[in-house]
């Protein structure tokens, strides 16, 4: 079976500091793969490298194609889409324009209207605020907008960086429900999370990243029962 | 190269330059004179632009103010050129102080544009004042006289220029190596960093601006009395950018680079003037500026760092000497253990529609370690910035040692005894670890600009260096004292920040996510260090995401979520609090 | 100063303000999309005027050779970059964009020029010739340093201005030009004579601004440009290429600068180096408006125009001193207003 995305011994350095060291991750079509780990472990760095915003060494293959020399925009055109930790919304543009721009990379512009309605169905809050500037949204709404904008791109592979960051438990629950439901749309997901429990409950496969290296990997259902992980990340209760 | 080798080399260079008039023609010497005059401006720019990061297009205007001032005094009113020098310096520095006070708070490119604007305005002014000869300028400026002898020939004024350039260089090098110079070098790390060290960023910038103008004034004075003629064309916008070019070609932030850059540009220009007519006899004049601009653009595209850093990187580096022991700096008296130290009362902060900190109250008592924890995005860092004055409160109050500190500028809070570290490490990566730690002691030292220039600050500096070394030993970094801070791994960089904070002799140490990105053993070392600090009567407030790290270390915990305090108490109590579990372990149970 | 004089000065001021406004809007557009403060827009305006003057005389304007030279250089650089990256497949497209189109325009103008076609055609020819200049300069000068800090880009832009002034002297010579007004019709408003040219200027400024507004608000490309200026990383993550957005911004801004050049040519005598002051005054206007707002830039530019007009009445020789001196207090005021925002940015 051929993987959708393979990261093979990826390393990323900021100057002389190596933030990610020889990390290998693989995602099969239809899978949700999660990378968990503490703050500063290099999770976000890895995501930025995967989408091509940061230079990295090692090999990346997507749909069998070598991604060396393929820039961010071309990766987006091929169906990869990152919802970054910092959201990177267009704050001085309204919600609808933000969503519309999500579809910028797609050839079939005719379907944009319909997809916009789909996103509004999924996140009714966004519909209420469609004329409001993105910068005036609350944290949860911003995350919905970032997710919705990514869905407008009709991605094959969605890279989600800390989707629960700074959100209320209720909204976190909602976001994770949405993530789980994307599977039925045929979207594969690489999910980076601090909220280890929620991430492992949603994912098929998990990797643990610590100080730039993978220290553990396996089926999410197994990791969630691992006593060492429970002590470190899942809370000792 | 060692300091001694540098000194010997510099002496040889000065002696060689002193012999130049014996070897070269008058024309070449006059080129040298121009190099010296331009170099003064470029040295000032190296300080201003290269070190402090303030790009000024307007230095030519300062040169012009000085040149016109001395021309007006000596040629039109018959005063001595030396009186002209005084007038030139006073007037130029005054103009710089006013313009600087008005514009130096501006953001980077706005500031540069403003220098372009007033540079132009002053340039236009010269050409439109009747009393200053309009566009034809002022001629018949008398030469400088020393002891009755007029410096008429280019070989004569050459020595005066050489002397002034050498003295300026020495003074500026001394200055960069002083307390004030360190603060200046830190400016590029951003206002939040330097103000957190107790440095008044604006005053530091203003002083640098006036010093650069002072050097420009010396240049303008020499120029006026050497060429014996001034006209607006010598001080226009084109000249302003040429000075900038000199400083940048020589090397970003390198003082000697100013001299090198001035030489390269002057001789290059001369060569272009000589050779262009051979290539294109009809259009030489027009192509000169084109060729010049093109060369500059290519330079900026491919070699932005400049000539001197390029060469310096290829020379053997000096083996620095460990600071000798010296009398310790005065220390604060730490408050009695258990006395109330910090009191946060109903603190409030909004960002647009987001309430980042919502009516949070808590206390910290002297001698304890308090952990402020909460999930990412809970408002911990905002709370932290409110405490240190990096952000202003929208409501509520914060008291430190019984005095309200909300609304006080960051540097005042820093000097009151709160020292901080940063979540995203803010060190000056190219400065040595020792220099970074010395920055922390800024508020405890007194030496100013003049003492620094004249090297009268050595006793105090020795004490400061001994203190910095002591903090490095305390944090286990002594062996890295002379490494560039940016070359250390993250864990060590965090320790450097703590050493820098300790060098300020704080009462309260506030640490922003000190364990983030650390490996397990590094975390344990950090915890050991913090326990030692507590044993030394220091109070610590740490903002942390990592609950396990905090639990084993702190005396009390405050938990935030969504900008509000949701729990407070002993570690065991907090751990058992269901609201904390909910916040921490996520809603998906 | 009587009311009549004030009215005349006001009309003059609004006319030159409208011209600065076009350049100012272009400056804001380009800065927000590419982070380059393109100081030479004023030069482009002046070059357009000089081009039109040459066409009026049935001569081949110097711009033809300038465009050809820039096109060859830009294509050579692009081709080299593509070959190095092993992207030979993109060569034909690059050739079309950087070589064929600009040179075709240049040659067409060269062929048509001796026939002295009617004025509207000449206007279009002058504009068509000036529009490729900035995108080509972008490729040659700014693309290799696209990630440089704003300040380095600014310094490069200033250096580029000096290069262009030198080239301007080379290609156009030292003589000043003044073209025929677009119309000789005039009218009287509030006792002040208002020439048809002034009316044209104001109409053109308003119409172009409106067109830009519609384009930004209602087209995907316009939204992509806004997105790029709002958040570059975000835009890239949506597949918007900053370099392509930049090129579009260069073309649009060049059209604005070109039109302002066409409009100013009958009002002021234009020399090869007149552009600097036009550009800088537009800049002052843009900065008054805060460098991020289009209406702000337009209003700021009109303020500059009025200021200049009244200043020249007070003292014609000191009018530029006054205009640029006024910038300093304005910047100070700006910095006082924007302190709050800066703090939040650091969070």
User: Average pLDDT over chain B, rounded to whole?
Assistant: 89
Q: How far apart (Å, rounded) are the C-alpha atoms in residues B260 and B280? A: 29
Question: What are the structural domains, with CATH classification, of chain B?
Answer: 37-237 (no CATH), 336-417+507-589 (3.40.50.300), 429-505 (no CATH)
Backbone angles phi, psi at A17, to 5 degrees: -95, 120
Asked whether the predicted pLDDT for residue B450 surpasses 50, the reply is: yes
Q: What is the pLDDT of residues B215-262, one digit of tens each?
A: 999 999 999 999 999 999 899 888 888 899 899 888 878 899 999 999
Q: Indicate if the pLDDT at residue B587 is higher than 80.
A: no
pLDDT value, residue B585: 57
Neighbours of A173 (CB within 10 A): 17
For chain A, how big is the Rg over CA atoms in Å? 17
pLDDT at A235 exceeding the cut of 60: no
Interchain pair B289, C347: CB under 8 A: no
What per-residue confidence (pLDDT) applies to B283? 66
Say yes or no: C224 contacts chain A, CB-CB below 8 A. yes
CA distance C177 to chain A (A): 43
How would you classify the pairing of strands A65-66 and A57-62? antiparallel
Residues A38, B519: Cα–Cα separation, whole Å? 10
pLDDT of residue B238: 82
Tokens 């704050």 belong to residue? A91
State how far residue C36 is from chain B, nearest Cα, in angstroms.
10
Nearest to B69 by CA among B124, B126, B154: B126
Contacts of B13 (CB under 8 A, 6+ apart): none
- For residue B267, what is the DSSP state? H
When CB atoms are compared, the residue of B352, B353, B584 closest to A235 is B584
Residue in chain B nearest A39 by alpha carbon: B516
Residue of A nearest to B564 (CA): A168
Summarize pLDDT for A103-149 with one digit per residue, the tens. Answer: 999 877 788 889 999 999 999 989 999 999 998 887 788 899 999 99
- For B524-543, what is each residue's pLDDT tens digit? 889 999 999 999 999 999 98
Q: Residue ranges of chain C with pLDDT lower than 70?
A: 335, 337-347
Instruction: Work out whether strand B564-569 and strand B556-561 pair parallel, antiparallel, or are unpaired.
Output: antiparallel
Predicted pLDDT of residue B253: 83
**Where is pLDDT greater, at B366 or B282?**
B366
First to last CA, chain B: 63
Helix (H, G, I), strand (E, B) or coil at A25: strand
Q: Using alpha carbons only, how large is chain B's radius of gyration in Å?
A: 28
User: What pLDDT does residue B355 have?
Assistant: 84
Q: How confident is the model at residue B1 (pLDDT cuts 50, 70, 90)?
A: low
Q: How does pLDDT run across B348-396, given as a tens digit for each residue?
A: 998 876 788 999 999 999 999 999 988 767 888 889 889 999 889 999 9
Q: Between helices B201-227 and B26-45, what is the axis angle to 10°? A: 170
Rounded percentage of chain A residues whose pLDDT exceeds 90:
62
The answer to whether the CB atoms of A97 and C85 lie below 8 A apart is no
**Residues B459-514: pLDDT tens digits?**
999 999 999 999 999 999 999 999 999 888 778 899 999 999 999 999 999 998 88
d(CA B286, CA B303): 26
Domain ranges, ordered by start, for chain A: 5-24+31-44+55-170+183-189+212-234
Q: What is the pLDDT of residue C340?
A: 38
Q: Which pLDDT tens digit goes with each residue over A174-224?
A: 889 999 999 888 899 999 987 788 899 999 999 999 888 999 999 999 998
Following DSSP, what letter does each residue of B16-83 receive, concatenated? HHHHHHHHS-HHHHHHHHHHHHHHHHHHHHIIIIIIT----S-HHHHHHHHHHHHHIIIIIT---HHH
pLDDT score for C339: 47
pLDDT band at B561; cut points 50, 70, 90 = confident
Kindly provide the b/e burial profile for residues C152-170, where b requires at least 16 CB atoms within 10 angstroms of the residue's own CB: bbbbbbbbbbbbbbbbbbb
Residue C87, pLDDT score: 83
CATH 3.40.50.300 fits A5-24+31-44+55-170+183-189+212-234, yes or no: yes
Query: Confidence band (pLDDT; 50, 70, 90) for B163?
Result: very high
DSSP B513-568: STTTT--HHHHHHHHHHHHHHHHTT-EEEEEES-HHHHHHH-SEEEEEETTEEEEE
Note whether A93 contacts C237, CB cutoff 8 Å: no
Query: Which of C145, C151, C169 lies at the smallest CB-CB distance from B55?
Result: C151
Q: Where are the domains of chain C?
A: 3-337
Q: Is the distance from CB of B383 to CB of B560 less than 8 angstroms?
A: yes
Torsion over CA of A43, A45, A47 and A48, rounded to 10 degrees? 160
- In chain C, count H helices and then E strands: 15, 2
Q: What interface predicted TM-score (ipTM) does this complex get?
A: 0.93
Q: Do B582 and A169 touch (CB under 8 A)?
A: yes
Interface contact B551, partner A, CB < 8 A: no
Measured between alpha carbons, how far is C276 from A174 in angstroms, rounded to an integer?
57
Strand blocks (E) in B310-465: 340-351, 354-365, 369-373, 395-400, 403-404, 418-420
A73, C234: Cβ pair inside 8 Å? Answer: no
Give the mutation candidate from B354, B587, B589 for the A interface (greatest A CB count, under 10 A). B587
Does B578 touch chain A if contact means CB atoms closer than 8 Å? Answer: no
């Amino acid at each position: 079976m051929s993987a959708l995305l393979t990261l093979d011994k990826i390393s990323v350095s900021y100057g002389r500091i190596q933030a990610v060291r020889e990390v290998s991750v693989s995602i099969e079509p239809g899978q949700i793969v999660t990378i968990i780990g503490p703050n500063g472990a290099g999770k976000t760095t890895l995501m930025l490298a995967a989408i091509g915003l940061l230079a990295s060494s090692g090999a990346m293959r997507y749909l069998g194609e070598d991604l060396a020399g393929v820039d961010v925009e071309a990766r987006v055109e091929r169906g990869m889409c990152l919802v970054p930790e910092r959201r990177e919304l267009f704050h001085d543009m309204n919600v609808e324009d933000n969503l519309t721009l999500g579809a910028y990379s797609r050839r079939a512009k005719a379907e944009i209207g319909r997809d916009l309605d789909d996103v509004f169905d999924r996140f009714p809050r966004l519909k209420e605020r469609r004329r409001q500037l993105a910068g005036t949204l609350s944290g949860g709404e911003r995350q919905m907008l970032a997710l919705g904008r990514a869905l407008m791109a009709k991605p094959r592979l969605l890279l989600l960086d800390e989707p629960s960051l700074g959100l209320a438990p209720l909204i976190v629950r909602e976001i994770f429900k949405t993530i789980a439901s994307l599977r039925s749309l045929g979207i594969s997901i690489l999910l980076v999370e601090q909220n280890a429990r929620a991430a492992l409950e949603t994912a098929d496969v998990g990797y643990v990243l610590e100080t730039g290296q993978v220290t553990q990997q396996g089926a999410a259902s197994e990791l969630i029962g691992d006593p060492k992980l429970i002590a470190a990340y899942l809370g000792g209760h | 190269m060692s300091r001694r080798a540098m000194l010997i080399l510099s002496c040889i260079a000065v002696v060689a330059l002193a012999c130049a008039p014996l070897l070269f023609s008058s024309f070449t010497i006059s080129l040298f004179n121009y190099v010296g005059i331009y170099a003064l401006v470029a040295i000032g720019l190296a300080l201003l632009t290269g070190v402090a990061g303030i790009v000024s297009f307007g230095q030519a205007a300062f040169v012009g103010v000085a040149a016109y001032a001395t021309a007006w005094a000596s040629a039109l009113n018959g005063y001595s050129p030396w009186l002209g020098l005084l007038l030139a310096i006073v007037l130029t520095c005054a103009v710089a102080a006013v313009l600087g006070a008005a514009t130096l708070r501006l953001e980077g490119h706005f500031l540069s544009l403003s220098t372009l604007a007033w540079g132009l305005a002053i340039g236009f002014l010269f050409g439109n004042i009747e009393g200053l000869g309009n566009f034809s300028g002022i001629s018949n400026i008398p030469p400088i006289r020393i002891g009755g002898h007029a410096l008429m020939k280019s070989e004569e004024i050459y020595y005066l220029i050489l002397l002034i350039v050498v003295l300026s260089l020495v003074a500026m090098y001394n200055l960069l190596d002083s307390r004030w110079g360190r603060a200046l070098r830190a400016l590029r790390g951003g206002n939040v960093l330097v103000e957190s060290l107790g440095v008044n960023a604006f005053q530091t910038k203003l002083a640098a601006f006036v010093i650069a103008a002072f050097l420009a004034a010396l240049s303008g004075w020499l120029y006026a009395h050497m060429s014996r003629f001034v006209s607006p064309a010598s001080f226009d916008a084109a000249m302003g950018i040429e000075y900038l070019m000199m400083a940048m070609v020589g090397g970003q932030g390198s003082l000697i680079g100013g001299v090198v850059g001035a030489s390269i540009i002057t001789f290059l220009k001369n060569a272009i003037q000589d050779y262009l007519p051979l290539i294109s006899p009809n259009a030489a004049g027009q192509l000169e500026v084109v060729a010049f601009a093109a060369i500059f653009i290519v330079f900026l595209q491919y070699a932005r760092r400049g000539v001197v850093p390029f060469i310096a990187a290829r020379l053997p580096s000096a083996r620095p000497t460990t600071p000798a022991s010296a009398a310790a700096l005065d220390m604060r008296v730490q408050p009695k253990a258990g006395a109330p130290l910090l009191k946060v009362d109903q603190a409030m902060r909004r960002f647009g529609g987001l309430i980042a900190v919502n009516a949070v109250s808590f206390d910290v008592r002297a001698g304890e370690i308090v952990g402020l924890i909460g999930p990412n995005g809970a408002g911990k860092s905002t709370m932290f910035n409110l405490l240190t004055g990096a952000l202003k409160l929208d409501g509520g109050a914060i008291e430190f040692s019984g005095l309200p500190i909300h609304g006080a500028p960051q540097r005042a809070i820093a000097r009151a005894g709160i020292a901080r570290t940063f979540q995203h490490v803010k060190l000056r990566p190219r400065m040595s670890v020792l220099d970074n730690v010395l920055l922390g002691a800024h508020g405890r030292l007194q030496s100013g600009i003049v003492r620094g220039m004249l090297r009268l600050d050595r006793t105090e500096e020795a004490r400061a260096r001994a203190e910095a070394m002591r903090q490095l030993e305390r944090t286990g970094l002594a062996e890295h004292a002379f490494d560039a801070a940016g070359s250390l791994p993250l864990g060590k960089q965090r320790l450097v920040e703590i050493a820098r904070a300790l060098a300020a002799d704080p009462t309260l140490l506030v640490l922003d996510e000190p364990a983030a990105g650390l490996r397990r053993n590094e975390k344990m070392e950090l915890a050991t260090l913090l326990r030692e600090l507590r044993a030394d009567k220091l109070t610590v407030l740490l903002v942390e995401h990592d609950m396990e790290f905090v639990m084993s270390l702190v005396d009390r915990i405050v938990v935030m979520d969504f900008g509000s305090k949701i729990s407070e108490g002993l570690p065991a109590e907090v751990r058992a609090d269901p609201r904390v579990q909910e916040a921490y372990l996520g809603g998906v149970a | 100063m009587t009311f009549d004089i004030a009215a005349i000065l006001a009309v003059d001021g609004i006319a030159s303000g409208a011209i600065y406004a076009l350049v100012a809007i272009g400056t804001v557009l380009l800065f927000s999309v590419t982070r380059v403060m393109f100081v030479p827009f004023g030069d482009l305006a002046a070059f357009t005027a000089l081009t039109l003057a040459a066409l009026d005389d049935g001569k081949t304007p110097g711009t033809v050779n300038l465009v050809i030279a820039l096109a060859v250089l830009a294509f050579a650089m692009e081709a080299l970059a593509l070959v190095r990256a092993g992207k030979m497949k993109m060569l034909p497209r690059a050739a079309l964009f950087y070589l064929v189109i600009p040179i075709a325009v240049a040659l067409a103008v060269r062929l048509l020029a001796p026939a002295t076609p009617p004025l509207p055609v000449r206007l279009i020819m002058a504009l068509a010739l000036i529009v490729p200049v900035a995108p080509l300069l972008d490729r040659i000068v700014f693309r290799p340093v696209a990630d440089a800090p704003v300040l380095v880009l600014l310094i490069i832009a200033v250096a580029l201005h000096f290069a262009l002034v030198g080239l301007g002297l080379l290609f156009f010579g030292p003589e000043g030009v003044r073209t025929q007004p677009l119309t000789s019709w005039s009218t009287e408003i509030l006792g002040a004579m208002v020439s048809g040219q002034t009316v044209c200027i104001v109409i053109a400024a308003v119409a172009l601004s409106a067109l830009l507004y519609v384009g930004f608000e209602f087209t995907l490309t316009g939204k992509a440009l806004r997105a790029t200026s709002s958040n570059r990383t975000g835009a890239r993550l949506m597949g918007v290429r900053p370099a392509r957005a930049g090129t579009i911004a260069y073309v649009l801004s060049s059209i604005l600068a070109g039109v302002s050049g066409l409009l100013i040519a009958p009002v002021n005598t234009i020399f090869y180096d007149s552009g600097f002051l036009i550009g800088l005054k537009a800049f002052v206007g843009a900065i008054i408006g805060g460098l991020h707002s289009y209406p702000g830039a337009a209003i700021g530019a009109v303020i500059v125009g009025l200021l200049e007009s009244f200043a020249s009445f007070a003292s014609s020789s000191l009018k530029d001193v006054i205009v640029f001196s006024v910038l300093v207090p304005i910047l100070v005021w700006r910095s006082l207003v924007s302190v709050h925002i800066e703090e939040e940015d650091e969070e």
